[in-house]
Structure 1
Amino acid sequence: MKTGANRRWDRAVMGHVNLRVETALANVVVAARDHLAAVAAGESSGVRDHEALWRAYVALNNATYRYAEVLLEAYGEVAPWQVDWIDPTTTEPTFPDEHGHVTQADPHPSVISVRQRRDYRVSSASSLIRLAEDARGVTGDAGDGPVGSVGEAVLVLVQLGDGTLASLDLPELEPFEGVVTVFEVGRRLALDALARDDGEAPFRAEPSDRLVGRLDERPAPAATVASRSPAG
């Protein structure tokens, strides 16, 4: 049976717990208002202070994190959100996109360039050209004119195959060695800045590009059948 002193102690403890939760909740409200004020200031002036937005975002994020933490400790209840603590002294600021969304900065490059080459031997030029012309007719592209070379035939087949080399897995083409390279690059490919007849520029690595790795493609050796003289 609890004595009066024990009951007074319990009330004091609960009062302290309630105060911690109320304080954490009040900090969320203040941080939310500060964040809204930073957003509204940018909208009204037409010039966004990205640094101020970032500070307000971190403060709101950490206030909600702290409230959820205290709520769980005090009552065993969870808040209806899940955020991670952001250390404002070590985390690099990130700026909102055109929709006002702020995301954590990614230390890795955002542009990866994958480049592929594969060589083939044409086992039957006439058969390959006829195959490309038939494919054009099936897709309704026959109005482009006759296919004049094996190179044009391969281009037609790759175009009709949505740009994948899987469309070249044909008896008329014997694959030789190929290679796939992966680069980390500083900027993405800009097709409009390249001449249509320049086939080398899109694959040329710049000094700032970093080669991550190279995958060599080697065709499987042809199966051989050992000949044996008939017994007898």
Structure 2
Amino acid sequence: MTDRMADLDAALDRVVDAARAHLAAVKAAEGRIDDDGVWQAYVALNNASFAYDEQLLDNFGEVTPWDVESIDPDEADQRFGLGVGGLDGAEPADAHPQVISVRQRRDYKVPSVSALLRMADAARSNAVPEDEDPGPIESVGEAVLELLQSGDGSLSSLDVPELEPLDGLITVSETAKPLDLEAYEDSDGAGPFTPGADDLLVGRLDEHPYLPEEDEEA
């Protein structure tokens, strides 16, 4: 047997092995969508089929019925956010891991304190059981916090007539490590938002409140 025939047989064996591995991965996934193992096995089967088809064409001018293109294994890993050899559970091979930190500040004017307190009281009443008395809301800060809690922390819960938005900003920074909430006291409102010495500010977006046309003209 010539070397080229041996290489062709080996290429076919790799197709068969990859097909079996792909079937095993499909069975193990049990219908899960976007399963990592199925995707990786698919890439291996695709590339083995492509290589066999190319060798068959080069040696005998014949082709298979498989119309496939080669897939870059590294790009396949990125498809699921895996590092090289991601199937074995290894950590990504990126030597320079980064964390992106997004910080936002938005200020509001309170046209009517009493109206805001009433709205927050209503939101609290709807959120607690009828047999519990959470007590009245006594400050503007408590009122805004209650609205945020009722809206699951989303700033969209503050888009109410009782609050007039003022200027705000968003910053995006690259930082070496993520936020550790346990490192700050509950009363510390500045520490978690203070950039670290090694943080790199990528940029900031300035927010200006939308004004109706009549206000802009004035």
Q: TM-score normalised by the shorter chain: which range applies?
A: 0.5 to 0.7
Identity score, percent: 42
Aligned counterpart, 2:195: 205
Distance (whole Å) between structure 1 residues aligned to residue 125 and residue 148 of structure 2: 15
- Post-superposition, which runs of at least 4 consecutive aligned residues in structure 1 deviate over 6 A? 26-29, 63-66, 79-82
Q: Deviations over 1:132-167 (max 9, x none)?
A: 011111111663321110011001101111111111
Which residue of 2 is the match for residue 22 of structure 1? 9
What TM-score does the superposition give when structure 1 sets the normalisation length? 0.62
Quote the residue 1:125 is aligned against.
Answer: 113
Note if contact 1:181-1:211 (Cα within 8 Å) is conserved in structure 2: yes
Q: Is the 8 A contact 2:15 2:52 kept in 1?
A: no
1:115 to 100, 103, 108: 103
Cα distance in structure 1, aligned partners of 2:45 and 2:147: 56
Q: Which amino acid aligns with 1:224?
A: E
Does the Cα contact within 8 Å between 1:112 and 1:183 map onto a contact in 2?
yes
SS at match of 1:144: coil
Task: Show structure 1 runs of 5+ residues with no match.
Answer: 1-11, 30-62, 87-93, 228-232
Alpha-carbon separation, structure 2, partners of 1:168 and 1:84? 47
The structure that has the greater radius of gyration is 1
Contact 2:47–2:70 (CA under 8 A) maintained in structure 1: no
Q: Is the Cα–Cα contact under 8 Å of residues 133 and 147 in structure 1 kept in the other structure?
A: yes
CA RMSD of aligned residues (A): 3.9
Offset at residue 221 of structure 1 (A):
3.2
Higher alpha-carbon deviation: 68-77 or 171-180: 68-77
Q: Is the 8 A contact 2:117 2:137 kept in 1?
A: yes
Normalising by structure 2, report the TM-score: 0.65
SS in 2 for 1:202: helix
Q: For residue 171 of structure 2, give the secondary structure of its aligned residue in structure 1.
A: strand
Aligned residues: 178
Instruction: Name structure 2 gaps, 5 residues minimum.
Output: 17-43, 57-62, 75-82
